[in-house]
Amino acid sequence: MATIEGIADNTFLKEEYFFLQKTYEDFDSKSITIKTWSISGSLVLIGAGFSEKGSAELFCIGATASLFFWIIEAYWKGFQYAFLERISKIEVYFTTIEKSFLPPLQISTDWKHDWRTVGRRRVWMKIIWWPTVMLPHLVLFIGGITLYVLTYIGVLHLPSQY
């Protein structure tokens, strides 16, 4: 038999679930923004290396910029990933016939607990290599470094060198 507290808990958990789901999905739009900044910034710097006053060092700076954006996005995905356990707990709660008590309104508490796990170096090093995280940053990083090396060894000649 449902108690008034049980109904209230279910209502709170339902609202919490929808809030968490929206928050989780909002992280993806922020990841797209990070990728956009990475592409824009890195390509502007790499492109500037080919200009009349450009230099090979701009290729390295563009590569470094993409590396920093890659690290930022990996942390951002870690922040997002820390919400997943709470979402899963609520889903299990609502799909279980024999319900055990799940305290509602525990977003911060569960997130902090899960971040201690997700934020650990071992997990973060897995996240940074996810294809959805490393692309396009890795391509920009490798491209910038490759252009620098090709210029340094004399295979690629910039307009400023003539």
pLDDT in tens, 62-89: 999 999 999 999 999 988 988 998 999 9
Predicted local distance difference test score (pLDDT) of residue 66: 97
The whole-angstrom separation of Cα 137 and Cα 110 is 31
Measured distance between the N- and C-terminal CA atoms of the chain, rounded to whole angstroms: 85
Query: Does position 1 have pLDDT exceeding 50, yes or no?
Result: no
Q: How many CB atoms lie within 10 A of CB 81?
A: 20
Predicted local distance difference test score (pLDDT) of residue 108: 92
The string over 104-132, giving b where at least 16 C-beta atoms fall within 10 Å of a residue's C-beta and e elsewhere, is: bebeeebbeebbeebbeeeebeebbeeee
Predicted local distance difference test score (pLDDT) of residue 96: 86
Residue type at 11 in one-letter notation = T
Lowest-pLDDT range of 12-16, 24-28, 41-45, 122-126: 122-126
Query: Does position 161 have pLDDT exceeding 80, yes or no?
Result: no
Q: Which residues contact 30 (CB under 8 A, 6 or more apart)?
A: 76
How sure is the predictor about 8, in pLDDT bands with cuts at 50, 70 and 90? low
